[in-house]
């Protein structure tokens, strides 16, 4: 994995010089066209939110593997969950010789102008992955695409998707519930989408009460640290939930340490290899499929299709995987867990 975490030396400010070889005109909407090199391997910049959990590692690996199939060079930028750092990274990369960006933003509004305005002005093609930019993080369907970019790839972590998950939890755990929840970090678009879904769900489910909630950095050690005092202070909790498996794993560890594992229900979204084994063991009731390796690969393939002059959908749903029965979310439980192939550890 090639990571570029420090600031790059600034180049000459201004529009990228047009490539002198054969190019293809790529319509990115908003009246903008990117002239993409057609007769040589491309150079890609991949902007990751961070590298500290299995989802991000899987995403980076998916992008690197897909780029290698095309003989393309790819540089990975670790945002370290720091929106200012990521903003500086993309600002510096705009002055280098990249043909395309894959942008997984930490804060969508900050990334809007550089990704959807400045990049196409400099003949850099942009795919926006996982977290929509330009105020579109809470949108659904086609509204997740931002003009100025080639495509948006994602769709499984929107408010509607999380509401589907919470409805499934309610189906399997009917009646009054006292709930403990772990989420991602503040201001993260996925966290905000989950919170929006949770508010809608609680409004329609008055016999649920959230008695404890904690933010994390998405990692298992921090989730364990945050879950321990909740488990200790709130013996009345009947159900735990988190919206990513690394956090759920921390909840399970805290319950196990307190001797309470098996006494409460635990539900998960994220579908890691750990979550698959936890479903098989009966430790958690279900998880949801999350294909972030496929998401990154689909982002690369969208750029490849554009280079070939082929049409590219503006929104590529379900992380690039086929849609299952028209639903936003695929649930993994004891009935189908053996067939599920997780993409993250």
What tens-digit pLDDT sequence spans the chain (345 residues)? 555 544 443 333 445 556 678 999 999 999 999 999 999 999 999 999 988 778 889 999 999 999 999 999 999 999 998 999 999 999 999 999 999 999 999 888 999 999 999 999 999 999 999 989 999 988 888 999 999 999 999 988 899 999 999 999 999 999 999 999 999 988 788 899 999 999 999 999 999 999 999 999 999 999 999 999 999 999 999 999 999 999 999 999 999 999 999 999 999 999 999 999 999 999 999 999 988 899 999 999 999 999 999 999 999 987 776 655 556 788 999 999 999 999 988
Q: Does 272 fall in a domain?
A: yes
- On whether the CB atoms of residues 160 and 193 are closer than 8 A, the answer is no
Q: Does 279 fall in a domain?
A: yes
In the sheet that holds 265-268, the strands lie side by side as 208-215, 177-183, 239-242, 265-268
Residue 5's pLDDT is: 46
Shared domain check, 264 and 169: yes
The domain in which residue 74 lies consists of 23-154+292-320
Whether the CA torsion 67, 68, 73, 78 is positive or negative: it is positive
Q: Does 30 fall in a domain?
A: yes
Write the CA distances from 133 to 11, 72, 111, 152, 265, integer angstroms. 25, 25, 6, 9, 35
Residue 322's pLDDT is: 63
In eight-state DSSP terms, residue 116 is I
Q: Does 338 fall in a domain?
A: no
Pairwise CA distance, residues 344 & 141, whole Å = 25
Shared domain check, 187 and 173: yes
Q: Does 4 fall in a domain?
A: no
Shared domain check, 183 and 132: no
Write the CA distances from 334 to 45, 279, 340, integer angstroms. 40, 6, 11
Shared domain check, 208 and 307: no
Classify strands 208-215 and 151-154 as parallel, antiparallel or unpaired. Answer: unpaired
Shared domain check, 314 and 271: no
Shared domain check, 180 and 104: no
Looking at residue 253, which CATH number applies to its domain? 3.40.50.2300
Rg (CA), the chain: 21
Shared domain check, 296 and 148: yes
- On whether the CB atoms of residues 76 and 62 are closer than 8 A, the answer is no
Shared domain check, 270 and 193: yes
Nearest to 86 by CA among 43, 56, 63: 56
Run of H or E including 288: strand 287-288
DSSP for 152-168, written as a single string: EEE-SSSHHHHHHHHHH
Residue 156's pLDDT is: 84
- On whether the CB atoms of residues 345 and 62 are closer than 8 A, the answer is no
Pairwise CA distance, residues 129 & 121, whole Å = 20
Shared domain check, 150 and 298: yes
Phi-psi label, residue 303: left if phi above 0, alpha if psi -120 to 50, beta otherwise: alpha
**How many domains does the chain fold into?**
2
Q: Which two tokens stand for residue 97?
A: 């010789």
> Which of 269, 288, 307 represents a domain boundary (last residue)?
288
Q: Does 16 fall in a domain?
A: no
Q: Is 244 helix (H, G, I), strand (E, B) or coil?
A: coil
Residue 54's pLDDT is: 82
Q: Which two tokens stand for residue 7?
A: 């600031």
Shared domain check, 197 and 173: yes
Pairwise CA distance, residues 145 & 315, whole Å = 6
Pairwise CA distance, residues 219 & 343, whole Å = 17
Residue 171's pLDDT is: 96
Shared domain check, 312 and 261: no
Measure the CA angle with vertex 66, ends 247 and 295; round to 5°.
Answer: 40
Q: Does 333 fall in a domain?
A: no
Name the phi and psi angles at 97, rounded to 5: -100, 40
Pairwise CA distance, residues 137 & 109, whole Å = 9
Q: Does 67 fall in a domain?
A: yes
Shared domain check, 173 and 271: yes
Residue 319's pLDDT is: 77
């Amino acid at each position: 994995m090639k990571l570029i975490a420090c600031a790059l030396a600034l180049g000459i400010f201004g529009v990228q010089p047009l490539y002198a070889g054969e190019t293809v005109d790529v319509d990115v909407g908003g009246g903008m066209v990117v002239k993409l090199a057609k007769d040589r391997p491309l150079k890609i910049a991949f902007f990751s939110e961070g590298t500290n959990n299995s989802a991000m590692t899987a995403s980076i690996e998916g992008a690197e593997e897909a780029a290698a199939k095309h003989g393309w060079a790819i540089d990975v930028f670790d945002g370290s969950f720091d929106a200012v750092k990521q903003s500086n990274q993309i600002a510096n990369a705009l002055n280098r010789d990249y043909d395309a960006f894959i942008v997984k933003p930490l804060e969508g509004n900050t990334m809007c102008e550089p990704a959807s305005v400045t990049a196409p002005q400099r003949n850099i093609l942009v795919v926006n992955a996982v977290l929509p930019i330009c105020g579109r993080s809470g949108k659904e369907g086609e509204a997740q695409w931002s003009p100025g970019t080639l495509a948006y790839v994602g769709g499984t972590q929107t408010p509607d998707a999380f509401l589907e998950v919470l409805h499934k939890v309610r189906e399997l755990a009917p009646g009054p519930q006292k709930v403990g929840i772990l989420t991602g970090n503040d201001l993260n678009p996925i966290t905000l989408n989950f919170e929006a879904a949770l508010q809608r769900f609680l409004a329609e489910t008055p016999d649920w009460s959230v008695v404890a909630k904690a933010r994390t950095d998405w990692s298992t050690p921090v989730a364990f640290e945050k879950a321990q005092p909740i488990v200790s202070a709130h013996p009345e909790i009947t159900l735990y939930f988190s919206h990513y498996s690394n956090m759920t794993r921390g909840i399970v560890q805290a319950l196990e340490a307190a001797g309470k594992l098996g006494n409460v229900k635990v539900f998960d979204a994220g579908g890691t290899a750990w979550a698959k084994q936890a479903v098989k063991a009966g430790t958690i009731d279900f998880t949801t499929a999350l294909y972030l390796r496929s998401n990154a690969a689909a982002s690369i393939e969208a750029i490849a299709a554009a280079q070939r002059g082929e049409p590219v959908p503006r929104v590529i749903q379900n992380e690039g995987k086929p849609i299952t029965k028209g639903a936003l979310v695929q649930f993994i439980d004891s009935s189908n867990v053996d067939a599920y192939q997780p993409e993250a550890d």
